[in-house]
A and B are shown apart, each in its own frame.
Chain A
Amino acid sequence: MEHIQHTPARVAKAPTRLLDGLQRWLPKLVVAPTFVLVGIGIYAFMIWTGVLSFTSSSFLPVYDFVGFDQYAKLMDNDRWLTASVNLGIFGGLFILCCLVIGVVLAIFLDQKIRQEGALRTIYLYPMALSMIVTGTVWKWILNPSLGLEKLMHDWGWSSFSFDWLVNSDMAIYTIVIAAVWQASGFVMALFLAGLRGVDSAIIRAARVDGASLPRIYWSIILPSLRPVFFSAVMVLAHIAIKSFDLVMAMTAGGPGYSTDLPAVFMYTHSFTRGQMGLGSASAMLMLGAILALLVPYLYSELRGKRHD
């Protein structure tokens, strides 16, 4: 623990003890508003949702407790199963593709490329668009009778077929494509920034030792960018969980409910179908899953940093 209170300053300057007392409280006072906002806006609301998940709430919240009924119903629900599997597929692929594309583009851009600024802006701009706009455009591009497939047919390649958007087994991958298009540029920016922070002396030294450039990147530079991976995964996981808008704009969960995600399931049941209890139960399971995956990661990363 590296508490500032333990610094010699406090012992040495006795007259300022009163001021120091205030100084000790000031930091807490400053974060207090955030503490209250987040405490209510996230944690109290989460507890409230947890309470609702044990009630039979349908149209609006009511407080008659039914135990684990809603969870049991959820487990029997085919649609929930589809949604959970989809989140795994979507989240995993999305994070992986963004990291790979982001890292590759960043390393390539870092090779003293002329026009770097322009290219960077091009990779980054999709992040400026809202997911609704992204979804609308990609829906159009991937629609077999309007977009890419028609384009290829118009250009004479009549056997070309790309019907993922309307194929219930493949539609989830179209969501991945659109989401990767939107977020990979941002990951590129994070890594480019990280690369700029790497001491070029290390690379020179390694080259003198005869290591090839790809090897240097793979075994020296990328490992040193671990904190950047952490930030990138945080941001990407955040986007993956919030991809609600994208799914709604692109497929609205269809064909059938093949592209349903837990957030869509939760929203549909809580608001459209008047099943607030079931919706709350799904939200709790979702949060539980995030907690189970994220907390160990957060813990190891934040702990690791303290020993630096």
Chain B
Amino acid sequence: MTERSHSGLRPSRIAIHAVLILAALVYLIPLFIMLITSFKTPMDIRTGNLMALPSEWTTLGWSKAWSEACTGVQCDGIRGYFWNSFKMTVPAVLISTLLGAFNGYVLSKWKFRGSDLFFGMLLFGCFVPFQVVLLPMAATLGKLGLANTTSGLVLVHVVYGVAFTTLFFRNYYVAIPDALVKAARLDGAGFFTIFFRILLPMSTPIFMVSLIWQFTQIWNDFLFGVVFASGDSQPITVALNNLVNTSTGVKEYNVDMAAAMIAALPTLVVYIVAGKYFIRGLTAGSIKG
């Protein structure tokens, strides 16, 4: 795979570039449509072309989505919900990632009788459709006194996120030679010492993967947010739903699209800024799957 080996394959390199660029365009089209639509006037949207640039650029859609659109009896836009989302996402992401790191450490370096079975059960847990657990979860939260509180919502996200974070960390730590841990044990290092002194310092890439994945999943979640948050601490996805999913009034696609962009902004930024760590983390983790 050296540069030299391709020097004689000019046409194939052109073809590769063509495919890659074409694919990039296809991936970008929906974003492009969302963006230009959010800057159009409603009249423009109705009469104009889907792919055409706005005949007159306006940020009306954005300002309305941010601070004026109705999401209930109050019409203050979706700005207030932004903070709600952060309040539940940050603790849920941190807790589930930490738990996942410890689990992954145990399941790769401190196996015990039944630990593989436990891991298998965790994996199977990834496939339970969330709709199934709504009612029993609601009853459980009610018993714990956590019904419709932010802590309750955080707990729910931790429960259903920990399987994936464990999977990430286990696969990452499996690739780290056992000899390293054994040597440390011979030196008398204990369970936590080995974790904090040896494994943690080399875990940055997989922490990035886990944080990015969990942040995206939890930020974008609608079902748990709508069911387990109380009226005044609903996350932004619920506000977006209330704004977009109305069945009366003229549909203001520019406002809908602007609101969708605003709601997606934090995750988009995370992917664009931290995307390279994502690949790096996956690379480090995938040496041995």
Contact = CB atoms under 8 A, between A and B. Distances in A.
Interface residues of B, number: 109
A151 B49 contact: yes
A111 B12 CA distance: 11
A230 to B, nearest CB: 6
Contact of B49 (A2, A154, A234): A154
B160 A122 contact: no
Interface string A90-131: 000000000001001100111111000101111111111111
Contacts of A38: 121-122, 125, 159, 162-163
Contacts of A61: 135
Contacts of B272: 121, 125
Contacts of A230: 289
A119 B24 contact: yes
A124 B286 contact: no
Contacts of A129: 220, 264, 267-268
A81 interface: no
Number of chain A interface residues as a range: 35 or more
A233 to B, nearest CB: 12
A125 B27 contact: yes
B197 interface: no
Say what secondary structure dominates the interface of chain B. helix
Contact of A112 (B3, B33, B278): B3
Contact of B110 (A4, A227, A231): A4
A55 B22 CA distance: 54
A28 interface: yes
Contacts of B288: 227, 305, 308
Say what secondary structure dominates the interface of chain A. helix
A133 interface: yes
A194 interface: yes
Contacts of A203: 1
B131 A192 contact: no
Contact of B279 (A26, A192, A228): A192
Interface in B20-45: 20, 23-24, 26-31, 33-34
B106 A31 contact: yes
Interface stretch (B56-64, B65-73, B75-83, B236-244): B236-244
Interface in B214-233: 216, 219-223
Given A104-B19, A126-B27, A133-B263, 7 more contacts: A4-B182, A37-B158, A42-B125, A227-B286, A231-B286, A234-B167, A294-B127
30 contacts: A3-B113, A4-B182, A27-B191, A31-B115, A38-B122, A41-B156, A41-B159, A42-B121, A43-B121, A109-B20, A112-B1, A119-B20, A123-B24, A124-B278, A125-B271, A129-B268, A150-B49, A181-B27, A189-B279, A189-B282, A192-B282, A193-B282, A207-B5, A226-B289, A241-B129, A242-B129, A242-B130, A263-B129, A270-B131, A287-B132
**3 A-B pairs closest in CB distance:** A227-B289, A130-B220, A193-B282
